[in-house]
A and B are shown apart, each in its own frame.
Chain A
Amino acid sequence: MLEIISLTLFVSGVALIIATIIGVPLGAVLALRQVMFKKIITLIIYTGMGLPPVVVGLAVYIFLSREGALGWLGWLFTPSAMITAQVIIALPIVIGLTTSAVENVNPELRLQIRSLGATPNQVMWTILSEARAGVVAAIVAAFGGIISEVGAVMLVGGNIEGSTRVLTTAIVLETRKGDFGLALALGGVLLTLTLVTNFFLLRLNKR
Chain B
Amino acid sequence: MKRLFGLMIATVLLAACATPAPVPAPVPPPQKLRLATTTSTADSGLLDFILPDFQNKFNAKVDVIAVGTGQAIELGVKGDVDVVLVHARAQEDKFVADGNGLNRLDVMYNDFVLVGAKEDPAKVKDMTAAKDAFTAIFKASATFVSRGDNSGTHSKEKSVWAAAQITPGKEMSGYLSIGQGMGETLLFANEKKAYTLADRGTWLSQKSKLPNLIVVVGGETINDNKDKTLLNPYGVIPVNPAKHPGVNFDLATKFANWITSAETQKKIGEYGKDKFGQALFYPSTSK
A interface with B by C-beta (< 8 Å): 65-66, 76-77, 154, 158-163, 165, 169-170, 172-173, 175-180
Contact = CB atoms under 8 A, between A and B. Distances in A.
B176 A176 contact: no
A48 B176 CA distance: 34
Contacts of A161: 148, 176-179
Contacts, number: 60
B179 A173 contact: yes
Contacts of B180: 154, 158-159, 173
8 contacts: A158-B188, A159-B178, A162-B170, A173-B180, A177-B68, A178-B73, A178-B75, A179-B74
A180 B67 CA distance: 14
A177 B70 contact: yes
Contacts of B191: 65-66, 76-77
B71 A178 contact: yes
Contacts of A154: 180
Contacts of B212: 66
Contact of B71 (A162, A170, A176): A176
A158 B191 CA distance: 11
Contacts of B72: 178
A204 B76 CA distance: 50
Of A160, A172, A175, the most chain B CB neighbours within 10 A belong to: A160
Interface string B50-78: 00000000000000000110111111010
Interface in B159-203: 170, 176-180, 188, 191-192
A155 to B, nearest CB: 9
Given A161-B178, A161-B179, A169-B179, A176 B188 contact: no
B149 A177 contact: yes
B284 interface: no
B128 interface: no
Given A160-B176, A177-B149, A178-B71, 10 more contacts: A66-B191, A159-B178, A161-B148, A163-B176, A173-B149, A176-B68, A177-B71, A177-B179, A179-B74, A180-B74
**A interface, by DSSP: helix, strand, loop or mixed?**
loop
B188 A77 contact: yes
B187 to A, nearest CB: 9
A180 B70 CA distance: 11
A162 B169 CA distance: 10
B178 A176 contact: no
A136 B148 CA distance: 39
Contacts of A162: 170, 177
Contacts of A76: 191
B176 A177 contact: no
A145 B70 CA distance: 30
A154 B185 CA distance: 12
Contacts of A175: 71
Nearest to A155: B184
Contacts of A160: 176-178
A185 to B, nearest CB: 16
B151 to A, nearest CB: 8
A179 B67 CA distance: 13
B150 interface: yes
A175 B68 CA distance: 10
A186 B197 CA distance: 29
A178 B170 CA distance: 24
A16 to B, nearest CB: 25
Contacts of B68: 176-178
A178 B74 contact: yes
A76 B190 CA distance: 12
B237 to A, nearest CB: 15
**Residue of B75, B170, B191 with most chain A CB atoms under a 10 A cut-off:** B191
B172 to A, nearest CB: 11
